[in-house]
Structure 1
Amino acid sequence: MVGASWSRGDWTWLVLLSLLALAARCIRLGHQPFWLDEVFTYQRIRLDTATLIADSFANRHMPNYFLLLRSLMPAQPDFAALRLPSALFGALSVGVVFAIGRRVAGRFAGCMAALLMALAPTQVQYGQEARSYALLLLLVAIALWGLIGLAQQPVRAALGWRRPDNLWLGWVAWFAGTLGALDLLGDAMPWLLASNGALFCIWRHLRVTHPPALAHGFLRNWLWIQALVLACCLPFYVAICVASNARMLDVFDWVPALSWRGLWVAAGSIYLMRPAEVVQFGLMPAGAAVLSPCVVVLCGLGLFRLRGRMEGRVLGLAFAVLPLLLLAVSLVKPMLVPRYLLWSALAFFVLAGVGAAALPQRWRPIIAVALPLLCLLNLWPVYRVEAKPRWDRTAAMLATVARPGDTIYVDDPNAPAMLSTLQPRSQPPLASKALVTGRLDLAVARWRQGSRVWAVNGRSALGQRESLAGFEAKLAALGHPQQTTALGREITVLEFAPPPAG
């Protein structure tokens, strides 16, 4: 029953679904190489504490995740080790989603919501990244769980702190999750807006339907907690603002302009169970395209079932505020990127779980079998498709073939960092044998002096990649390449032998 104490069956389902999520995130955890953001993580956690903090603020990041990751990692972590905390955080967030769904609409709703969260391709992808998004999901999920509790029992939430029946656990969960998310990543700032909008709805409901003393009590508790959150997180944002010279939005210059295709990619990857390309603004092929409309219908049913209920308003705000806000900002400054929408999927999947529970009882066995199968079909491309550029193979190849005096020309400004970080540890540093440069004029000058040139065409992060034909045309001064080697879908290495003597 909704709101009843947990039975052994509830705990069993929570553990099973969390283990399913962990397994989905641990499969081939170290198979894909690091992409640019993960390389930055690897480099940052190897800094001393003071430099790590300064570097984080200068690059508009909170230092807390990197400090935490550094405390958990060995001296030389590999791909899998650096990503394992994210897999654990992602699995724990699935357990919290189950708890939210169960609290709103019962065990079946919790199971379906957690199942979608556990096997959503984009959620699995970011649960396999050495970045803070999976931890952010967990913290926002904890805050949402507390917020739903406040919405369900507003009278207890309005009582004084010293009252034994005060809903202190709901307030603590919202406070801890919100503060932790804000002190982790700036992506959580819209959550502060969405959750405060939900708290306003709860206060307004109390003001209309209950004695004024209860509305005043709820407002008092809300303002005290809100002041504490702001006091604990504002210093971090001031530090970022100062370190970046108040130019915080300049970091988003790489985001593609707003377009219908961009809207489809963002919605498809976050809400419609489609796996996303990491360095291309696109979607991978869907294993079961029918799943996308099914999830939309279930979410709509969930909203319909919760109409008029305070939990429905809370979940609606938690789902809608972030995409609408980013869409509005993107009209001026493009910011609509799938990973910035990631935490709004929590409420979306809970609503879909509520919608599944609203269907006739006789349909539940069919849903319980069909939904996991469709989810697994859609998840399969995440494991088999090359989603990240093979800079590891490129670094290994160049470390083997480059000789002293060679020149390595790269057209991606971040390629030197990718090559130095991902080269085999058994090889001497690539820079000790060859000059790695992004200056074409320097590469051409060294070639004319007898240096062999290796030209690398590829990208390390989201953005436009120059076509291979255009890249070769730019290198016309070097003549025809002696050899062309494709390393995956994103990277091609061209070898130019030095000119004949004389």
Structure 2
Amino acid sequence: MLVLGLWGLEREGALWADEAVTYDMASRTVPEIWRTLGSADAVHGLYYLLMHGVFTVWEPGLVPMRLPSVLAMCATAAGVAAIGRQLAGPRAGLLAGLLLPMLPMVQKYAQEGRSYALVCACVTWGTWLLLRRRWAAYAAVMLFACLLHEFAVLVLVAHGVTLWLGARARSLPQADGLLPALPRGWRIAAAVVVLGLAPLIGVSITQSQQVDWIAFPSDPDLILIALGAALARLSLRSPALAAVAPVAVPILVLPTALLLAVSLFDPLFVSRYVLSYAVGAALLLGAVLDRHWSRALVLATAAASVVALVGHGPQQRTPAGRSDNVGRVAAAIAAASEPGDGVLFSPHRRRSSILVHPSSVRGLTDVSLAASPRASDTLFGAELPPDRIRARMLAADRIVAIQDHWGKPVDPFPEERVKREVLAAEFTLQEERSVGRVRIGIYLRNAPDGEPNTRPNTGPDSTP
């Protein structure tokens, strides 16, 4: 895991939008971080504070930002091996620990400057502590996981089901009911975690508009969920996996299923929010290989892993390996713009494209910005009122607009509505280019007679 995590860690200097936010937040002072969390991203607050500590002892950069995730995934792999060893023996544990780093999603998030790998490590070792009934340590580790990202609380449900399945397997009389079958120590630990998390949940609910960009799960996500459910069903019915399935299947299925169920009413499902499913998948795969051990199977698995690494690994470690490369977006903004142009970020979170590349908008007027992110203690800057945004847009002859792709959910806020309305009514789209998940459009102000201006774009790489 360490070798795969360090391989191409810098990705040729590229980073994606959420990493840009991490870099910006970790570079602020603790009071600035704290004030910002009062209005945005409280769910990632503990992670930003931890990364601020890293940047305090190590000069800010891509390696210090991503290395904690690499080390966290190493701890995850070690924990998976330890759990597999305890449940099914040394070989099953070793195979599970070796297979975890082969999973593409593990390699991806091991190299992200975000909290997901750290959450995975905490969930893994929390599971190990669960199996050993070390309730105080379990409560501390799981609370830490939930404070890193509150959706880790869904793993508590998985752990409760694991304990209930274990009680049923031992034919305990109280296993006919759910709560009586759960050890008192676990119930106390779970209550401590929920109570400790409650203040963060209260704050994050007030910031729920931040996730309005989340759409219903994509078809690839749904296919993966269906495959995971099928694997889980087969595993629970297999006598050969009787020792591993009660632990692995709930972690693989339940957090994902619960978040998906919530998303039927309020879209919140993003696969990285429940990345711990990789732990359950690795445990099951290791147990299957151990149960059906043969030299041919081992060679086939090794060959498949090598093919996956050769076919997928190098591309994942290039700037193209992330669809939201903010450096590339910043460069495209600079190439498309001319001195004196207006620049418009719609929605305003697209301003993350310039958080670490502010020179890309030097000489341009951000027509909706009231105060910079750091000056306003916000993630993406404070926006002007709608009427001021309208006036500043109408004062510009040429606007470079950075927008989401067509079909993405649009923000309902008045500031965002006025941006869309003025562009549609008063400007004509001259040219547009696509950069990852972003559209960069060059808009010309309509002439007084309503006809579009014909001022050409002189920026390089323009695409009609």
The code of the aligned residue for 1:63 comes to: G
> Deviation string for 1:386-420 (max 9, x for gaps)?
4233432343455588665332234332233422x
Asked if 1:253 corresponds to 2:203, the answer is no
Asked if 1:190 corresponds to 2:154, the answer is yes
Normalised to the residue count of structure 2, the TM-score between the two structures is 0.74
Secondary structure of the structure 2 residue equivalent to 1:455: strand
Asked if 1:382 corresponds to 2:321, the answer is no
**After the TM superposition, which residues 418-457 of structure 1 pair with which residues of structure 2 at under 5 Å, given as runs?**
418-419=353-354, 421-423=355-357, 427=359, 430=361, 433-437=363-367, 439=389, 442-447=392-397, 453-457=398-402
- Which residue does the alignment assign to 1:363? 296
Residues 386 and 488 of structure 1 are in contact (CA less than 8 Å); yes or no, is this contact kept in structure 2? Answer: no
Whole-Å Cα distance in 1 between the matches of residues 341 and 357 of structure 2? 17
Whole-Å Cα distance in 1 between the matches of residues 268 and 98 of structure 2? 29
- Which residue does the alignment assign to 2:29? 48
The code of the aligned residue for 1:189 comes to: V
For 2:199, which of 238, 243, 265 is the aligned residue? 238
Residues 124 and 279 of structure 2 are in contact (CA less than 8 Å); yes or no, is this contact kept in structure 1? Answer: yes
Deviation, structure 1 residue 63: 2.2
Secondary structure of the structure 2 residue equivalent to 1:61: helix
Residues 386 and 489 of structure 1 are in contact (CA less than 8 Å); yes or no, is this contact kept in structure 2? Answer: no
Deviation, structure 1 residue 307: 5.0
Whole-Å Cα distance in 2 between the matches of residues 67 and 140 of structure 1? 20
Normalised to the residue count of structure 1, the TM-score between the two structures is 0.69
Whole-Å Cα distance in 2 between the matches of residues 265 and 216 of structure 1? 34
Note closer, same or farther for the CA distance 1:476–1:53 as it changes in structure 2 (3 Å cut): closer
Out of 247-256 and 397-406, give the one that drifted further: 397-406
The code of the aligned residue for 2:256 comes to: P
Out of 66-75 and 360-369, give the one that drifted further: 360-369
**After the TM superposition, which residues 83-122 of structure 1 pair with which residues of structure 2 at under 5 Å, given as runs?**
83-122=66-105
- Which residue does the alignment assign to 2:15? 34
The code of the aligned residue for 1:107 comes to: P
> Deviation string for 1:125-170 (max 9, x for gaps)?
22222110010000001011223x34xxxxxx5xxxxxxxxxxxx4
> Deviation string for 1:448-469 (max 9, x for gaps)?
xxxxx35234439994599xxx
Whole-Å Cα distance in 1 between the matches of residues 226 and 315 of structure 2? 18
- Which residue does the alignment assign to 2:442? 494
Percentage identity across aligned positions? 23
For 1:264, which of 223, 228, 241 is the aligned residue? 223
Note closer, same or farther for the CA distance 1:454–1:63 as it changes in structure 2 (3 Å cut): same
The code of the aligned residue for 2:163 comes to: L
Whole-Å Cα distance in 2 between the matches of residues 216 and 239 of structure 1? 29
**After the TM superposition, which residues 176-215 of structure 1 pair with which residues of structure 2 at under 5 Å, given as runs?**
176-203=140-167, 208=172
Asked if 1:342 corresponds to 2:275, the answer is yes
Deviation, structure 1 residue 380: 4.4
- Which residue does the alignment assign to 2:386? none
Residues 120 and 379 of structure 1 are in contact (CA less than 8 Å); yes or no, is this contact kept in structure 2? Answer: no
> Deviation string for 1:187-231 (max 9, x for gaps)?
111111211232344456667279xxxx99983433443454445
> Deviation string for 1:68-98 (max 9, x for gaps)?
1111115862333322211221222112112
Deviation, structure 1 residue 494: 3.3
Unaligned runs of 5+ in 1: 1-17, 151-156, 158-169, 273-295, 448-452
Note closer, same or farther for the CA distance 1:180–1:486 as it changes in structure 2 (3 Å cut): closer
Whole-Å Cα distance in 2 between the matches of residues 489 and 240 of structure 1? 30
Whole-Å Cα distance in 2 between the matches of residues 182 and 331 of structure 1? 23
The code of the aligned residue for 2:361 comes to: L
Residues 36 and 414 of structure 1 are in contact (CA less than 8 Å); yes or no, is this contact kept in structure 2? Answer: no
Whole-Å Cα distance in 2 between the matches of residues 39 and 33 of structure 1? 10
The code of the aligned residue for 1:359 comes to: H
Note closer, same or farther for the CA distance 1:58–1:401 as it changes in structure 2 (3 Å cut): closer
- Superposed CA RMSD in Å reads 4.1
Secondary structure of the structure 2 residue equivalent to 1:446: coil
Asked if 1:222 corresponds to 2:186, the answer is yes
Asked if 1:459 corresponds to 2:407, the answer is no
Residues 98 and 114 of structure 1 are in contact (CA less than 8 Å); yes or no, is this contact kept in structure 2? Answer: yes
Secondary structure of the structure 1 residue equivalent to 2:266: coil
Secondary structure of the structure 1 residue equivalent to 2:43: coil
The code of the aligned residue for 1:350 comes to: L
Whole-Å Cα distance in 1 between the matches of residues 32 and 114 of structure 2? 19
Residues 34 and 388 of structure 1 are in contact (CA less than 8 Å); yes or no, is this contact kept in structure 2? Answer: no
For 1:73, which of 55, 68, 87 is the aligned residue? 55
Deviation, structure 1 residue 181: 0.8
Whole-Å Cα distance in 2 between the matches of residues 486 and 239 of structure 1? 37
- Which residue does the alignment assign to 1:395? 330
Whole-Å Cα distance in 1 between the matches of residues 250 and 146 of structure 2? 18
Secondary structure of the structure 2 residue equivalent to 1:98: helix
The code of the aligned residue for 2:392 comes to: L
Note closer, same or farther for the CA distance 1:76–1:489 as it changes in structure 2 (3 Å cut): same
The code of the aligned residue for 2:442 comes to: L
- Which residue does the alignment assign to 2:461? none
Out of 335-344 and 383-392, give the one that drifted further: 383-392
Whole-Å Cα distance in 2 between the matches of residues 206 and 301 of structure 1? 18
Whole-Å Cα distance in 1 between the matches of residues 4 and 297 of structure 2? 21
- Which residue does the alignment assign to 1:276? none
Note closer, same or farther for the CA distance 1:324–1:480 as it changes in structure 2 (3 Å cut): closer
Whole-Å Cα distance in 2 between the matches of residues 76 and 495 of structure 1? 40
Out of 379-388 and 457-466, give the one that drifted further: 457-466
Asked if 1:124 corresponds to 2:59, the answer is no
Whole-Å Cα distance in 1 between the matches of residues 190 and 329 of structure 2? 50
- Which residue does the alignment assign to 2:251? 318
